[in-house]
Amino acid sequence: MKLWQRLTERLGSLPASRVTWGLVILFSVWVLLDVFVLKLTGGLAQSSYDTMVRARVFVAAPDPRIVIIDIDEASLARMGKEFGRWPWPRDTLATVLAHVERQQPAAVVWDILFSDADRLSPGGDAAFNQAVSQSPRSHFSVVRLPKANDGASHITAKALPGLWVGASARPAPAAALAGPVTVALIPPALPAVAAGHLGYNNGYVDSDGVLRRYRYLEPLSDGTAIQSIALGVASSVNPLAQQEILNRSAGAAKPMDELIAWRRKAGAYAHLSFADVFAQAEGEKPLAPVPGFAGKIVIIGSTAPSLHDIHPTPLSSMQAGVDSLATVIDNALHQRSMRELPRWLQAVLAIALCVGLALWVKFKSAASLAPALLVLPAMLLGISYVSLNGLPFFVDLHLAAGLALLFLAVLRYWSTLRRNHWCAPLADTAQPIAVWAWERADAWLEAPLDRLIDALEQHAPSCRIVVCDAPPSGLRWPELARFVAVVGPQAALLAARAQLEPALRHLALRCAEPLLLQAAPAREQMAKDVISAWAMLQRTAAGND
């Protein structure tokens, strides 16, 4: 305990400039290490970001063209009576695809993998392969495996040309088609699917398992790139939107994961039961009306929890993957991007904030920052929230807000230690002392007291301050708190009087002549002497009036 007391006394005695700029250096080093090396707290604060997403005021409406044919639990139950458990024979999928394709949709997107042949129903595979060969609007998913496995793969652009960016719109570079670059993924098993429009459909979640970003394309070492299924759909439905995404990613050597601009709620897009669409395709009456698919972007996928295509997002802890896919396709078609500030810029903003706070303390006082302890972080988070409501950049100020809160809290704690030091009894009581009384128009609260301490620190470091302390509930007698006394060795105080007086004149109304005492009295007697000096000051002021 004594060691801690000595430490706090030592901290309280340090000059304000040394402490504030020392904190700036310390926090700046921490920010640089955190953002560029450790990556512990820098960047997106996940929980508060998710809260902001759910609380947005301005949210883009879902594209009415997007409709989801949903393999939901009801479809599994109804069709299971005839076809058994999922996966059903693929001729059921062929029936639905042919029915949708006849209506000329804008695109048919399969959020289903066809990575294995159906050995129990080869006829179903043949029927589906035939339907795919007659469906130029279909887009199929593949699973991208970790990039570290690329060297062990044999899959090149020749094998799956529809996966490479631009392959459907213009030929890929000859070097890419014949080159040795390979990509590790789970390829389609059916020939017509492998020859069609392809795109990886991976969900790259954050460290907490929540999906917040999407990767539209992935550059490869030979200068080419493979596309996501969302980018593939954009290339067919809105080539200008595809080009805008390519322009954003131009020159990037690494994949660019963009924040997803979510809709208002998790199930924002129209859902049709797969069983109803299948019944209509078979000429039967569906249980619910099935609208036409002309000009629609039809996504075929599952929301059934038993099929495990469920993952948490900022909108829901149980969001179906097909809804997330619909969202990123919608964003791609309408060029809705939500880019983030670079990590280096986040570091610069956080450090600049610390420097600004240090300059404020230098020209004002640490006490004047008390209201900013909560207001400043809240304001920074408010800027982040506003940027989520329509700006193309998410101005992520979570790091700056957290740093400001910590910086201000440390500074406020040190400011308390500092006042404790300068308002403590004199350490040297062997020599004669002087008591110099001052009166202020209002109470000597934290801000003017800090300015008084600044003056003593500069001109009379051996002197101390006697002031009426305010209780935690506030000033009960503000009339008494208008008085303060500077006490210290006579020689030191009188020598510094010429320098102190101009500074104190800006803080107080009047002062008395210093009261000279032959020796430093005990604490109780010191209190009486100080009160006597204040009384003398009042009598002098009354006489002058």
Q: pLDDT tens, 104-157? A: 999 999 999 999 999 889 999 999 999 999 999 999 999 999 999 999 999 999
From CA 467, how far away is CA 530, in angstroms rounded? 9
Non-local (6+) Cβ contacts of 309 within 8 A are 111, 301, 302, 303, 320, 321, 322
pLDDT at 90: 96
pLDDT at 172: 45
From CA 429, how far away is CA 393, in angstroms rounded? 63
Q: Are residues 98 and 118 in the same domain?
A: yes
Does a structural domain hold residue 347?
yes
Q: Are residues 410 and 438 in the same domain?
A: no
CA 299, 300, 304, 308 torsion-angle sign: negative
Cis-peptide, bond into residue 87, ω within 30° of zero: yes
pLDDT at 168: 40
Could you write out the DSSP letters of every residue in 135-201? -TTEEEEEEEPPGGGGGG----TTT-GGGBTTTTTSPPPHHHHHSS----EE--SSHHHHTSEEEE-
Task: Record the pTM.
Answer: 0.81
Does a structural domain hold residue 485?
yes
From CA 415, how far away is CA 417, in angstroms rounded? 5
Last residue of a domain, one of 366, 393, 420: 420
pLDDT at 476: 65
Q: Are residues 217 and 122 in the same domain?
A: yes
Summarised one tens digit per residue, pLDDT across range 173-227 is 444 444 568 999 999 999 999 999 999 999 999 988 999 999 999 999 888 999 9
Question: How many structural domains compose the chain?
Answer: 3
pLDDT at 270: 97
pLDDT at 9: 84
Q: Which of 248, 159, 256 is nearest to 198 (CA)?
A: 159
Does a structural domain hold residue 408?
yes
Top pLDDT among 171 and 333 is at 333
Last residue of a domain, one of 368, 386, 420: 420
Does a structural domain hold residue 59?
no
Q: Are residues 232 and 363 in the same domain?
A: no
Determine the straight-line distance between the first and last CA of the chain, rounded to whole angstroms.
52
Top pLDDT among 247 and 471 is at 247
Last residue of a domain, one of 365, 388, 420: 420
Q: Are residues 385 and 477 in the same domain?
A: no
Percent of the chain at pLDDT > 70 equals 94
Q: Of how many residues is the chain composed?
A: 545
Q: Are residues 228 and 283 in the same domain?
A: yes
Q: Are residues 177 and 285 in the same domain?
A: yes
3-state secondary structure of 248: helix
Tell me the Ramachandran region of residue 166: left when phi exceeds 0, alpha when psi lies from -120 to 50, beta otherwise: left
pLDDT at 176: 44
Element (H, E) at 439: strand 433-439
3-state percent helix, strand, coil for the chain, nearest multiple of 5:
45, 15, 40
Structural domain for 466, as ranges: 423-544
Tell me the Ramachandran region of residue 436: left when phi exceeds 0, alpha when psi lies from -120 to 50, beta otherwise: beta
Top pLDDT among 192 and 525 is at 192
Summarised one tens digit per residue, pLDDT across range 422-462 is 988 887 667 889 999 999 988 888 888 988 999 999 999 99
